[in-house]
Structure 1
Amino acid sequence: MPDRSSPTRDDVDAIAAWSVIRAARVLARRLGDVLAPLGLTPVEFGVLVQLGATDEPDHRGTADGLAEPATGLAQADLARAVGVRPQSMTTLVVTLAERGLIDRGSERGRGRRSRIVLTDAGRAVLAQAYPVVLASNAWFGPDAATSAALVATLRPMLGGPGGPVDDVP
């Protein structure tokens, strides 16, 4: 067992959580570099792609199976899905709305649960950014199974489709 007061580089590299954190920082920088020409940060892409995922008609909520119109996401739900603090989401939402990429709804205000949706301009930017981000899977090797295995390994820590798990063991 290594001496806890003086770990070696191998001891440090054997800490899975720390390795994932370090890798996440490197990947965020690389993703930022490939998104910069589109005028997006990785977190802004996260907002657009999460909203884009809510653009699909929802057949689950209707008795007759007809599609419900896109409902968007509440700001708190969007913050959870993207993995940022709600306070940070406020600035992101304002910025993206000012750029015309999202619509915050007309009934904003304290105690009102407005839904945020993509605008046509937001969908157009997402249509450009999505293939660029999807291509980043190749960073993990030429075999698509490698990136799929990585996603499968990380998914339990990220929770379900709605966002991260609050209590990570």
Structure 2
Amino acid sequence: MVGGAQQVRVALAQVDAAQAVSAKEQQAVAHEHTLGEIARASARQLQAQQEQRQALELRLAALDAKEHKELTDAQAENDRLQRLYAGADAERKRLRIEARVAANDRVVSDTAGAGSVGNGASVELSERAGSAVWNIRGGMISDRAKLAYLQGYVCEQRPDIEACKKRE
């Protein structure tokens, strides 16, 4: 029976080998399944990120269009006023600014109370100074529009910032 025992041992070894191969195949299948799940999860995450990016790009394009229109309109109004000013006669070209000056900031009589506000005074600027005022106004309009755009851009990127929450 020595030969029969040998055959039994060989048969058992073959069964063990087959089971080991089967276990390795099962591991490979499970590993492949896990990799597939990881790939699908990554694809879903990538798709969501792409959709968020596209939505952000649309919001930024709308912001850009809105702020550009507001800037263009404000610059056109400034240009219109400047042309109106430039086309006026010499008397009307002088830019007049109404000012309220505290009484203690100007020369007043002793009977005026300290710290009181005097009646409005008119200050007249030369043509050159008046022209500079229009240029300064144009620069302020441009700077204000740029600042509004940049604030909007930041708030689109980071709506969680406290200042952005207050804008809404």
Q: Taking structure 1 as the reference length, what is the TM-score of the superposition?
A: 0.25
Q: Taking structure 2 as the reference length, what is the TM-score of the superposition?
A: 0.25
Identify which of structures 1 and 2 has the higher relative contact order when contacts are C-alpha pairs closer than 8 Å and 6+ apart.
2
Counting helix residues as a fraction of each chain, which structure ranks higher? Answer: 2
Is the radius of gyration larger for structure 1 or structure 2? 2
